[in-house]
Chains A and B, each alone.
Chain A
């Protein structure tokens, strides 16, 4: 096990297959969240272009007179809804919200978020593990949004989470993958799929996450708040596919010094005329 296992390429033949979480397979390794879109129609177009088969939704109070239902839109496009616990600060709140999500979306899957405060939006690791343990025991398939901390990732897998979703950078920042070595370390240690969640700003960020060996990328605002969301959705789809292929292909080792790719033997003597 090495912290730079991405340089050596994947060893697991199953890596060539589809993304599999808790026994369910997905052809797309891009999970697109629905947050931040100004309109339901625009969101639908971006989701379709992204090719995503799984998308996050939040649970909020019903408001009379809101346009259409995101639930119906997802149903009609065959996209599976993954309810989240966004906005929860304690394990208790998150557990109740997860149960409401299970009711509303008719799924035992939950994107578990327990954040520490409104400023950083960083996960509260202690409440997160507590909530994960309760939900796993209650039969949920738990996908926790977590810090890019390899030890915390291991703890979450130990309590039975179905995937680990470390942040690349804080939610909504678009700063990309701030600590690629930690992400690579989480991947190297992981016994469940690793999904890079949060912080993606543009296509190269998503490609890098996949090159590091992540099994999938989850992003929302990088698409929904782009100037042209549908075009960015397409870019992200290509980036995730390209990054996955690059990871599977096995990149060349980094070298300190140049190495010619043309033969060094058989060169003509062309300096006579100079």
Chain B
């Protein structure tokens, strides 16, 4: 079975019951393995980095995975 979530505006089916950490790793690939410079919100609530591994996402959750980028 899989969990259907919306990551950065795109509907995604993920195997099992993923944690926020799983989704970050999936989204970042190898570019920032420790997740520094990255922040996550699930349903408009910030999930602190320390809680990524223990926070599981559910069907229909909206996940925003952001990083620091160029900007004035």
Contact = CB atoms under 8 A, between A and B. Distances in A.
A114 B8 CA distance: 22
Contacts of A37: 70
Interface of A is mostly: mixed
Given A99-B46, A103-B48, A60 B66 contact: yes
Contacts of A100: 39-41, 46, 64, 66
Interface stretch (B11-19, B24-32, B54-62): B24-32
B71 A56 contact: yes
Interface residues of B, number: 26
A69 B41 contact: no
Nearest to B70: A34
B33 to A, nearest CB: 11
Contacts of B40: 100, 103
A64 B31 CA distance: 8
A36 B67 contact: no
A59 interface: yes
B68 A105 contact: yes
B38 A86 contact: no
Q: Indicate the member of A66, A86, A103 with the most B CB atoms within 10 Å.
A: A103
B37 A36 contact: no
Given A69-B68, A104-B39, 11 more contacts: A34-B70, A57-B68, A59-B67, A61-B8, A62-B65, A64-B31, A69-B31, A71-B67, A72-B36, A86-B72, A96-B46
Interface of B: 8-9, 27-29, 31-32, 36-41, 44, 46, 48-49, 64-72
